[in-house]
């Protein structure tokens, strides 16, 4: 039996009980550049490596603010991430209009999980080819959730997804006990170091190819990009020339896989 007898749609199981369309979507996530998330008792941090398709193009967005208290980082197909992020924005706005409160992160994560899993139940649809890290602070404190194309979600203390993310996860596992009591600045430095671990030796984190976002108790979700990154990169790596090497992170295997 050949695999392509069972991978024409997302509602047919193979004899081994696998859904190949879901596995293909997970491969799209593995091709995207790495994103990292960490939470402490007071803050939630997302950090990402940005790619450009070619030297003449701009770097694509990897972190999307959703509401004032949370945002998402993506690895995979940016077009699918845009669909899901727009849905999340609608749900967040509806919560504020209907209940006059910010939506809980566990609730919005469950809603996009239901939306994604529905695509594996209907003929003619396909799974979303994107993985998300959803981070922020609600009335229950800081949270980090991982969303997978299959619709599986789980709350994490720290997480990394995307290409070469295993090295980043290894760093996070090694320093896991430090995160809970870390300050805002320490948490950002840990996230940047985890990103650096995932890069090949001839690459550097620069103000062009990296970005960070942070949310905290009594602190709204905010994205730091471009020259806003220079101070943190210098403090983390003591790299005074970090902003001069942008434009070299053009490793994307496909234009829309980020």
Strands annotated E in the chain: 35-39, 43-49, 63-67, 70-76, 130-138, 141-147, 153-155, 158-161, 210-216, 219-224
Q: How confident is the model at residue 33 (pLDDT cuts 50, 70, 90)?
A: very high
Angular region, 247: left φ>0, alpha ψ -120 to 50, beta rest: left
The pLDDT of 94-99, averaged and rounded, is 96
pLDDT tens for 97-126 read 999 999 999 999 999 999 999 988 888 889
Q: Which CATH superfamily is domain 26-243 in?
A: Aminohydrolase, N-terminal nucleophile (Ntn) domain (3.60.20.10)
What is the chain's alpha carbon radius of gyration, rounded to the nearest angstrom? 18
In the numeric block, the tokens 């995307």 are attached to 162
Q: What is the pTM for the complete model shown?
A: 0.88
Number of other residues whose CB lies within 10 A of the CB of residue 97 = 8
**pLDDT at residue 200 above 90?**
no
Kindly compute the dihedral angle of the four CA atoms of residues 235, 52, 72, 40, in this order, to the nearest 10 degrees: -20
**To the nearest whole number, what is the mean pLDDT of the chain?**
88
Sequence ranges of the domains in the chain: 26-243
């Amino acid at each position: 039996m050949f695999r392509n007898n069972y991978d024409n749609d997302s509602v047919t199981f193979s004899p081994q009980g696998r859904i190949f369309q879901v596995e293909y979507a997970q491969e799209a996530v593995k091709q995207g550049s790495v994103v990292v998330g960490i939470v402490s008792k007071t803050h939630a941090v997302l950090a990402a490596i940005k790619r450009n398709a070619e030297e003449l193009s701009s770097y694509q967005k990897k972190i999307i603010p959703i509401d004032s208290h949370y945002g998402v980082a993506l690895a995979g197909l940016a077009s699918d991430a845009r669909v899901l992020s727009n849905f999340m924005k609608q749900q967040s706005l509806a919560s504020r209009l209907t209940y006059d409160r910010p939506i809980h992160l566990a609730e919005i994560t469950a809603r996009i999980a239901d939306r994604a899993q529905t695509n594996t139940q209907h003929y003619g649809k396909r799974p979303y080819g994107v993985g998300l890290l959803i981070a922020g602070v609600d009335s229950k404190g800081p949270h980090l959730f991982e969303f997978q194309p299959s619709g599986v979600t789980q709350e994490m203390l720290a997480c990394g997804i995307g290409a070469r993310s295993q090295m980043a996860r290894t760093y996070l596992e090694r320093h896991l006990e430090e995160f809970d009591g870390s300050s805002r600045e320490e948490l950002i430095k840990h996230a940047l170091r985890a990103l650096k671990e995932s890069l090949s030796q001839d690459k550097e984190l620069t103000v062009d190819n990296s970005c960070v976002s942070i949310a905290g108790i009594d602190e709204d979700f905010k994205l730091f990009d471009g020259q806003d990154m220079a101070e943190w990169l210098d403090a983390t790596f003591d790299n005074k020339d970090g902003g001069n090497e942008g434009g070299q992170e053009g490793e994307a295997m496909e234009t829309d896989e980020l």
